[in-house]
Structure 1
């Protein structure tokens, strides 16, 4: 990926020239640098994979008691849901019953 030296937008390859579609800036290609670039054009579209029934949610687990079933393990993640000057909110998903709850810092 190459960015425009003038406006910072993404440059697009047209023949042997890089062209900025935002401001019109053009620059010549550099074969060695372009060879090192990674593109997604050759990747095949594998479609959407439904992992909603998968046991591993790809999240870390912690020791916390579920208020629904009293299981002692839950997946957790943090998310900023209030203003930026306040702490993030911790969300939990029970590893047994998949009950969801959150814990706020006060």
Structure 2
């Protein structure tokens, strides 16, 4: 998702450009960004969690369900509707097992 540098409105994808629906400002898309397109939904950027430590992801004290290590990298992502809370994703610092935690 991109926001307009001129007016702050949300921009929409149009071929190789981001176009502001409010003021018409255009800017090129970042060619290195990864996207996942699901039918009926807008494009969303994929979070690359490979090399989590190199990407500067924070760590927290949580027990890995695979190896019982007590530390993991974490990040949050909105994967459900906007009125639902974000989902927390964890990556074990030892075995790199990945799991998520949703609010119920």
Measured against the shorter chain, the TM-score band is 0.5 to 0.7
Task: Give the deviation of 1:58 after TM superposition.
Answer: 1.2
Q: What CA distance in whole angstroms lies between the structure 2 residues aligned with 1:82 and 1:70?
A: 29
Q: How does 1:1-106 map to 2 (within 5 A)?
A: 8-10=23-25, 52=50, 55-106=53-104
Structure 1 consecutive aligned stretches of length 4 or more whose deviation exceeds 6 Å: none
1:41 corresponds to: none
TM-score, normalised relative to structure 2: 0.52
Task: Using structure 1 for the length normalisation, give the TM-score.
Answer: 0.51
Higher Cα Rg, which structure: 1
Structure 1 stretches lacking a partner, 5+ long:
12-46
Alignment root-mean-square deviation, CA: 2.9
Give the secondary structure class of the aligned counterpart of 1:78.
strand
Structure 2 residues not aligned, in runs of 5+: 8-21, 27-31, 33-49
Tell me the matched-pair count.
66
